[in-house]
Amino acid sequence: MDIKLSAGELLERFLRYVKVNTRSNPENMDQIPSSQNQVDFAHQLEDELNELGLSDVYYNDADSYVTATLPATDTESNYPTIGFFAHRDTADFNAENIQPQVVENYDGGVIKLSDSGYELSPEDFPSLNKYKGQTLITTDGRTLLGADDKSGIAEIMTAIAYLIDHPEIKHGDIKIAFGPDEEIGMGATRFDVERFGADFAFTVDGGPLGDLEYETFTAAQANVKITGKSVHPSEAKNIMINALQVGMDFHNAISAFDRPEYTEDREGFYFLDGFEGTSDEARMSYIIRDHDSHVFEYRKHQMEKIAEVINSKYPQKVIDIEIVDQYRNMREILEKDMRPVTLAKKSYKAAGVTPNIQPVRGGTDGSILTFRGLPTPNLFAGGENMHARFEYVSLETMVKMSEIIIRMVTIAKDYEQF
């Protein structure tokens, strides 16, 4: 099948999308979505889906997802119903007045990020060496770009528009969902999986060309409250319990090399991402991550044991620890039926892309969706250096993902034979 996508059309969409500030707000996690600008952008996408001519275009106030259906062009064959997800929100970095730069035919050298004083250099960012001769979209050095995950939205939209313009391409029903609050881990927890009606799905939310992910961390949040006994330092002997010192003792009891800065691949970690207070009271917050479910449970147990041992040294309880599970390694479900992963591999190869299968050192909406009954591996979307001023993406990589989506929905005809 000869697929000739318009790179210019995809670029126009992407630039239009990233200029809209859709940063999620972790302080409003009880609000759906966490920021009003995500609602405004959702309605823009809703209008665009209607203009393209999709069916069942719907914005759900209850979960803030925009969903739509591209009906099958082949109703005689036994295609599965496939869903494609991307998230609308961007991460916790300046997203106001985004002014993307388009660098055509990248020469392999230093890219100045406008007059901000920042630059993208292959010396600092070796990933640039892969993109010589390609068109890169960067920031101006003052904001993030938003390729995570507006590249995914643009790629899905472009693929769907191509399929609409080429009804001779045979496929089954295709479902689309653009959701909120992925960056704060809330969007997929509210999604109406049953109404969506897909057999399986893919998040288009990964990194560079070829990435294919079906294994994530299992994750938990640990909140530690320390109650001290504050007295004047001159009278502190045998009386004072310094909550800050207890917090340091707690942290130092955790393996010094089980931290993000010392781990890679499938190695898990404890990450202290908050510590505040006084000698009277302090609070600490951790995230706990591991790909192995047994090691993950051990990590949680160790934190509780450390608290228990420290508490035993004082006349009253000084540490309260609450550990809340967040999401689980989606491989636990997906390995029971690997056909969605097989379909992705076949589609990559049909597009001339070598699958790069690796565990995600984090989670995706797919983690939550998979455990809610919708198997959802993660596909690449192209972003590099995501979430900050050095973010960039290759236009050629985005075009390739749109092509893969088109190939995937046709190859799916043989899904039952995988």
Catalytic annotation, residues: 89, 182
The helices-and-strands tally (H runs, E runs) of the chain is: 10, 18
Cα–Cα distance between 7 and 103 in angstroms, integer? Answer: 14
Name the β-bridge partners of 83: 175, 201
Q: State residue 398 phi and psi, 5-degree precision.
A: -65, -40
What is the C-alpha to C-alpha distance for residues 317 and 210, in angstroms, rounded to an integer?
Answer: 51
Q: What are phi and psi of 242, to 5 degrees?
A: -80, 110
For residue 395, give the amino acid letter: L
The pair of three-digit structure tokens given for residue 45, joined into one six-digit string: 């996408």
> At CA 141, angle to CA 135 and CA 144, rounded to 5?
80
Contact between 101 and 395 under an 8 Å Cβ cutoff? The reply is: no
Q: Which two tokens stand for residue 401?
A: 């993902």
- What gap in Å lies between CA 3 and CA 370, rounded to an integer? 31
